[in-house]
Structure 1
Amino acid sequence: MLSAERDAYLAHVTVERGLSVNTVAAYRRDLSRYCAFLESRGIDSLVDVRRPEVAAFAEAVGTGEDGGAALSPASASRTIVAVRGLHRFALMEQWVVSDVSVEVKPRAIPKRLPKAISTSQVAAILDVAASGDGVAPLRDAALLELVYATGARISEAVGLDVDDLVLEPGAESVLLRGKGRKERVVPVGSFAARRVEAYLVRGRATFASKGAGTSAVFLNTRGSRLSRQSAWAILKDAAERAGVDDVSPHTLRHSFATHLLTGGADVRVVQELLGHASVTTTQIYTMVTQDTLREVYAASHPRAR
Structure 2
Amino acid sequence: MFVLVDRVLKGAWMSAWGCLRLVRSRDAAGGLVVRFGVAVLDAYLEFLAVRSRPNTVVAVAYDLKVFFTVVAKAPGRVSAADVLAFVTAQYAGGPAGRLQVAGEGGGVSARTVRRRLSSVSGLFAFLQARGDVEANPVPRGLPTRRERQRPRQGVPLVRTPRTLPRILQPVQVDALLAALRTHRDRAMAEAMVLGGLRRCEVLGLRLEDLQVAARRVFIAEGKGGHQRQIPVSGRFFASVAGYLDAERPPGIATDRLFVVLKGPGRGRPLSPPGLDQILESARQRAGLGKVTCHQLRHTCLTRLREAGMALEAVQAQAGHASIESTRIYLHLADDWLASQYRRAAEAIDAQLFSGKPLSHNAFSVIEGGR
Query: How would you bin the TM-score normalised by the shorter chain?
Result: 0.7 to 0.9
Structure-2 residue corresponding to 1:132: none
Q: Verify the 8 A CA contact 2:306 2:335 in the aligned structure 1.
A: no
TM-score by length of 1: 0.79
Moved more, 285-294 or 56-65: 285-294
Code of the aligned partner of 2:258: F
**Which amino acid in 1 is paired with 2:123?**
L
Letter in 1 for 2:268: S
Aligned to 1:162: 207
The equivalent residue for 1:287 is: 331
Q: What residue number does 2:148 align with?
A: none
TM-score (normalizing by structure 2) = 0.67
C-alpha spacing 1:102/1:271, structure 2 compared with 1 (3 Å)? farther
Percent pairwise identity: 30
Q: How much does 1:116 deviate?
A: 0.7
Q: Tell me by how many angstroms 1:138 deviates.
A: 2.2
CA contact (8 A) 1:78 1:106 kept: no
Q: 1:203 aligns with which of 246, 262, 265?
A: 246
Instruction: Look up the equivalent residue of 1:76 and give its one-letter code.
Output: V
Distance 2:277 2:127 in 1: 42
Cα deviation per residue 1:145-195 (whole Å; 9 max; x = unaligned)? 222222112232122221121112x35323252334433222122222222
Larger radius of gyration: 2
**Partner SS for 2:158:** coil
Q: Which has the higher contact order (CA 8 A, sep 6+)?
A: 1
Residue ranges of structure 1 left out of the alignment (5+ in a row): 130-135
Is the Cα contact below 8 Å between 1:114 and 1:254 reproduced in 2?
yes
* CA-CA distance at 1:80 after TM superposition: 0.5
Q: How does 1:64-83 map to 2 (within 5 A)?
A: 64-66=93-95, 67-69=98-100, 70-83=107-120
Query: Aligned partner of 1:28: which letter?
Result: A
2:63 matched residue in structure 1: 30
Output aligned runs, 1:122-133, within 5 Å.
122-129=173-180
Correspondent of 1:61 among 90, 96, 102: 90
Mapped partners of 1:293, 1:176: distance in 2: 35
Letter in structure 2 aligned against 1:12: F
Q: Residue type of the partner of 1:22?
A: N
Cα deviation 1:228-286 (Å, max 9, x = unaligned): 23323333344444454332222211101111111122333323322233333332222
Corresponding residue number in structure 1 for 2:167: 116
Give the drift of 1:120. Answer: 4.0
3-state SS of paired residue (1:215):
coil
1:99-131 deviation digits (Å, cap 9, x = unpaired): 3324244522222221111234324433453xx
Q: 1:140 aligns with which of 185, 210, 214?
A: 185
